[in-house]
Amino acid sequence: MEKLSQQKIKDFKKLQLKKHRNAEQMLYLEGETLIKDLLGEFPQLVLTLVVTEDKAQEYENFHKELLVAPLSELEKLTQLKTPKKVNAIVKYPKNKPWKNGQKALLLDQIQDPGNLGTLIRTADWFGIQHIFCAPGTTDYLSPKVIHASMSSAFRVQIHYQELGPIIKKYADQTYGAYMDGTDFEQIEPKDIQFLVLGHEGHGISSELTALLKKRIGIPQKGAAESLNVAVAAGILMQHLSK
């Protein structure tokens, strides 16, 4: 156990920038619930704990680097409104390849970190273990996405690639989510292997729309203009998982 040095603060603060995160393959993550989840399920990925003095004894059996600091020092590192008492340096998760037959989400340029985090967490809840993200989709390893997804971002396999080739190859098993799509309850869950969800503002791109042969939708019962993409995805994933 040692005190958090100013040099360490500088090193950890660099991880707020994507280029440094990618270069080091490491994240600075905040919050005791998240860190405890990672310690329980992925202890090999947790390299360093950064805790306040009142939490140090609780983690004294952590066998790697344990750093202690006052909240005033942790304020220099936090990306939240207030610093957390338990934080960690965590290695990037290692993705497992998708296998033919596994259901997956295809995300076309989802921009909001909260939406992406919620999508990952919801997919994990319903047992959907792969998400393919088109270029332009927000970075799932950004702290805002991780905090919205919690440890689900380490369980669900996230892949960044062009979605067109998947849609072309599996056209009959791929459904795009549209407001005017076929009522999801009229579609057999076993017939859906890939679910395409679009950008929060303009939906699925025209390029991908041209490739999609099948549309799925949620019937509107009220007067709301639209559904949040993560909420709509949750309803569709529940059906998909049946």
Instruction: Choose among 223, 209, 2: nearest CA to 106.
Output: 209
Give the neighbor-by-neighbor strand order of the sheet with 65-68. 2-3, 65-68, 46-51, 86-91, 26-30
CA dihedral 44, 47, 52, 54 (to 10 degrees): 40
- Residue-number span of the structural domain to which 51 is assigned: 2-91
In a shared domain, residues 76 and 115: no
- Domain membership of residue 73 (yes or no) is yes
Helix, strand, or coil here: 127?
coil
Instruction: Tell me the whole-structure pTM to 2 decimals.
Output: 0.93
Q: Using one digit for the tens of pLDDT, what is the confidence trace for 207-219?
A: 999 999 999 999 9
Residue 163 counted as domain residue: yes
Q: What are the backbone dihedrals phi and psi of residue 62, each rounded to the nearest 5 degrees, phi first?
A: -65, 120
Same domain, yes or no, for 130 and 231? yes
**Strand partners for 192:** none
Cα 79 to its chain centre, rounded Å, is 17
Q: Given a cut of 90, is residue 75 above it in pLDDT?
A: yes
Q: How confident is the model at residue 205 (pLDDT cuts 50, 70, 90)?
A: very high
Tally of domains in the chain: 2
Give residue 114's pLDDT band: very low, low, confident or very high (50, 70, 90): very high
- Asked if 112 and 231 sit in the same domain, the reply is yes
CB 98 within 8 A of CB 104: yes
Q: What is the CATH number of the domain that holds 174?
A: 3.40.1280.10
How far apart CA 75 and CA 118 sit, in angstroms, is 26
Instruction: Give 161-195 pLDDT, tens digit per residue.
Output: 999 999 999 999 999 999 999 999 999 999 999 99
148 in any annotated domain: yes
Q: Would you place residue 30 in the very low, low, confident or very high pLDDT band (cuts 50, 70, 90)?
A: very high
Given a cut of 90, is residue 85 above it in pLDDT?
yes
> Is pLDDT above 90 for 226?
no
Q: Is residue 136 part of a domain?
A: yes
User: Where does the pLDDT of residue 110 fall: very low under 50, low under 70, confident under 90, or very high at 90 and above?
Assistant: very high
Cα(221)–Cα(202) distance, integer angstroms: 22
Residue 143, pLDDT above cutoff 90? no
- Residues 179, 155, single domain; the answer is yes
DSSP assignment letter at 123? H
